[in-house]
């Protein structure tokens, strides 16, 4: 799979508003965009770090899997994401390389991008996402 660099680092947070007090207000990272995706179950907020984005990921429903992740780990680094030209093409290349994705189909990312998580068992237990067209 050919990637085009780092797209973002993602931090899972229980409250975007509270997280912005640190990342935007105290550290000065400007907000690029914020939107609710995947049928209203998660809010994704991107801040500009200069050479990449910091993504705040807030689960919005009580049964979202990230609620359990937050309960176990607390707020913190959840994954990193690589840019690719085409998620569908990269998906097929990953399967051919034996790096099966965690889910069979891409999900909705920010700004109408498609995204896909790799299976952690294939990436030495590191949560890796790819995103692109």
56-110 tens-digit pLDDT: 999 999 999 999 999 999 999 999 999 999 999 999 898 888 887 877 889 888 8
Q: pLDDT at position 13, please?
A: 98
Global pTM reads 0.92
* Residue 67 exposure: Cα atoms within 13 Å on the Cβ side: 8
Q: pLDDT at position 2, please?
A: 86
Structural domains of the chain, with CATH = 6-132 (3.10.180.10)
18-59 tens-digit pLDDT: 999 999 999 999 999 999 999 999 999 999 999 999 999 999
E-assigned strand segments in 13-133? 31-37, 42-48, 53-59, 76-83, 107-108, 114-117, 128-132
């Amino acid at each position: 799979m050919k990637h085009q660099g780092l797209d973002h680092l993602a931090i899972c947070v229980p409250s975007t508003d509270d997280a912005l007090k640190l990342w935007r207000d105290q550290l000065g990272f400007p907000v690029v965009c914020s939107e609710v995706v995947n049928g209203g179950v998660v809010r994704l907020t991107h801040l500009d770090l200069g050479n990449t984005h910091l993504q705040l990921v807030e689960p919005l429903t009580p049964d979202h899997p990230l609620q359990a992740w937050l309960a176990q780990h607390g707020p913190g680094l959840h994954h990193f994401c690589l840019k690719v030209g085409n998620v569908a093409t990269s998906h097929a290349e990953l399967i051919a390389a034996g790096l099966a994705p965690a889910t069979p189909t891409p999900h909705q990312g920010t700004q109408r991008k498609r995204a896909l998580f790799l299976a952690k068992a294939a990436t030495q237990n590191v949560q890796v996402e790819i995103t692109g067209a």
